[in-house]
């Protein structure tokens, strides 16, 4: 098990290295002049030249790359022109907000997707089953930003049932910063009112984010259930008089866990990417909104910082899924 872990971590380090190279290449093909951007609009040509030297932009590329890697290893990701803060500082502030959304979305997708998928398989070919299948297909096809806008319009603006955006009402007392995730922090600090406020604000963005994952979880569980229900040992169990619910519960769910896990790992990355869209619509102060604002302002360091962070998070998630797989299914450990 340990060897498996060690191998996986080594692989992760290699991938991270590759990603660093890719982000370096990307930030160097830009037609804009990074020194001029960093110096700001009021800069004189002399100031721009100073900037260029300061950032080492006049050195040969391999040297710049070495410098870039060195900076990264020390946790220096540059400074954002827009916020004026160090990118690392901004990232630490925004990562928990995005994580909160993604975790809530994943939780919702599993809590709803697994039972619905199982039920749909049990009642195969019924109207319920068809409805669920339609949901499964739509969930992936729906443009996240479009459904976000529509839900915001109908539920928040017209009906007024939910807030239109942000993480907290301006009137709410912010909780002490423990994890950075506002909902969790206010629960841990016992600020129930704030927690309720935070929950109300998180409902719409988390729901929209969860849709494609929900769809995938639905399909996978339904497929697994169908296969399991048709298998030999289930038929045998039925023949022996074991109650159908026990059959479903014990055998099928256990089998469905592995593929569901794989789906979640895959969708985690997709969801992290979709924060770019959902956070924009709901003005949610997370990584996605940070990256979008920076991209539009041609502020590169934050965009690269977010790319690396999301890449790292995705790789870690995949690592966790791999480990879980290895633990649950020893056959995969040899791989």
Partner 1 sequence: MSDAALPALSRRARFRAEHAGTLRGARFFVWTFSRSPSALLGLALVLAFLLLAAIGPWIVPYPEDARGAVNLGRRLLPPSAAHWFGTDEMGNDILTRVVVGTRTSFWIGLTITGLAALVGVPLGVAAGYFGGRIRTAIMRVTDVFLAVPGLVLALAIVASLGPGILHGVLALTLVWWPGYVRLIEAKALTLRGESYVEAARTMGASHGWILARHILPNCVSPIVVKASMDMGMAILAAASLGFIGLGAKSPAPEWGAMISVGRGYMPDWWWYPAAPGLFIFLTVLGFNLFGDGLRDTLDPRSNRG
Partner 2 sequence: MDRRSFLSGAVAAVAASSLDPAYGFEREGSRRILVFSGNQPVPILDPHQRYDWSTRMMQRCLYDALVRYEGTPARIIPWLAERWETSADGLRWTFHLTDKARFHDGTPLDAEAVRFSFERGLRLNKGISWMLSRHLKPENVEAMDARTVRFTLERAYPDFLAFLPLWFVVNPKQVLANQEGDDHGQKWLTNAEAGSGPFRIRRWDGQGVMALEAVPDYWKGWPMAEPDRPAGVIYRVVREAAPRKAALQRGEVDVAANLTPDDIEGLERMPAMEVANVPGAAPFAIMMNTQKGPTADLNLRKAIAHAFDYEALLTIHKGQARLMDGPFPVVTADRVALDMPRRNPDLAKAYMAKTAAPEGGFELEYLHVAGLEVQRQIGLVLLAALQPLGIRVNVVAQPWPTLVGRGASPETAAAMTAVYVTPVTTSPDTVASQYASSAAGQFWGIHHLRDAEIDRMVEEAAVELDAPKRAALYAAIQRRVVDLQPVIFCMTANQQWAMRNYVKGFAAQPLNLTGEVDLFPLYAARA
**CB under 8 A: which stretch of 16-24, 40-48, 59-67, 69-77 binds partner 1?**
16-24
Rule CB under 8 A: say whether 36 interacts with partner 1: no
Question: How many Cβ atoms sit within 10 Å of the Cβ of residue 170?
Answer: 5
Query: Which is nearer to partner 1, 45 or 143 (by Cβ)?
Result: 143
> Tokens in use for 214?
């929900």
Q: How many residues bind partner 2 (CB under 8 A)?
A: 45
Give the H or E element holding residue 294: helix 287-296
Among 192, 327, 329, 332, binds partner 2 (CB under 8 A): 192
Rule CB under 8 A: say whether 144 interacts with partner 2: no
Burial class (CB in 10 A: 0-12, 13-18, 19+), 281: buried
What distance in Å separates the CA atoms of residue 60 and residue 286, rounded to the nearest whole number? 35
Query: Which is nearer to partner 1, 4 or 24 (by Cβ)?
Result: 24
44's contact among partner 1, partner 2, none, with CB below 5 to 8 A by partner kind, is: partner 2
What distance in Å separates the CA atoms of residue 104 and residue 123, rounded to the nearest whole number? 28
Q: Which residue's entry shows tokens 């830009």?
A: 30
Rule CB under 8 A: say whether 293 interacts with partner 2: yes
* CB burial readout 94-129, b (16+ within 10 A) else e: bbbbbbbbbbbbbebbbebbbebbbbbbbeeeeeeb
Among 164, 253, 270, 312, binds partner 2 (CB under 8 A): 164
Among 87, 172, 271, 276, binds partner 2 (CB under 8 A): 172
**CB under 8 A: which stretch of 11-19, 76-84, 107-115, 116-124 binds partner 2?**
76-84
CA angle (81, 82, 85) in 5-degree steps: 70
> What residues make contact with partner 1 under the rule CB under 8 A?
14-16, 18-19, 21-23, 26-27, 29-32, 121, 133, 137-138, 140-146, 149-150, 152-153, 157-158, 219, 222-223, 226-227, 269-270, 272-274, 276-277, 280-281, 291-292, 294-296, 298, 300, 303-304, 306-307, 310-311, 314-315
């Amino acid at each position: 098990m340990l060897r498996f872990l060690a191998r996986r971590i080594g692989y992760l380090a290699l991938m991270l290295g590759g990603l660093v190279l890719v982000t370096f290449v990307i930030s160097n093909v830009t037609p804009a002049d990074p020194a001029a951007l960093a110096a700001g609009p009021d800069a004189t040509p002399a100031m721009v030249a100073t900037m260029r030297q300061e950032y080492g932009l006049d050195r040969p590329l391999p040297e710049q790359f070495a410098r870039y890697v060195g900076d990264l290893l020390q946790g220096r990701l540059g400074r954002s022109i827009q916020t004026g803060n160090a990118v690392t500082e901004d990232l630490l502030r925004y990562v928990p907000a995005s994580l909160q959304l993604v975790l809530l979305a994943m939780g919702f997708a599993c809590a709803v997707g697994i039972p619905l998928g199982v039920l749909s398989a049990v009642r195969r070919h019924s109207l319920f089953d068809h409805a669920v299948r339609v949901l499964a297909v739509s969930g992936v096809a729906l443009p996240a930003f479009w459904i976000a806008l529509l839900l915001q319009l109908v539920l928040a603006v017209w009906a007024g049932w939910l807030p239109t955006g942000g993480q907290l009402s301006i009137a709410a007392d912010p909780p002490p910063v423990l994890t950075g995730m506002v909902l969790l922090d206010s629960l841990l600090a016992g600020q129930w009112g704030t927690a309720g406020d935070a929950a109300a604000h998180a409902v719409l963005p988390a729901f929209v984010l969860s849709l494609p994952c929900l769809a995938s979880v639905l399909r996978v569980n339904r497929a697994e259930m169908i296969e399991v229900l048709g298998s030999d040992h289930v038929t045998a169990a039925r023949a022996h008089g074991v109650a159908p619910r026990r059959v479903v519960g014990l055998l099928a769910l256990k089998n469905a866990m592995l593929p569901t896990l794989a789906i979640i790992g895959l969708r985690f990355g997709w969801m992290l990417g979709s924060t770019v869209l959902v956070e924009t619509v709901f003005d949610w102060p997370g990584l996605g909104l940070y990256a979008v604002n920076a991209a539009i302002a041609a502020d590169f360091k934050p965009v690269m910082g977010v790319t690396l962070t999301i890449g790292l998070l995705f790789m870690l998630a995949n690592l966790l899924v791999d480990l879980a797989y290895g633990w649950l299914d020893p056959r995969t450990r040899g791989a």
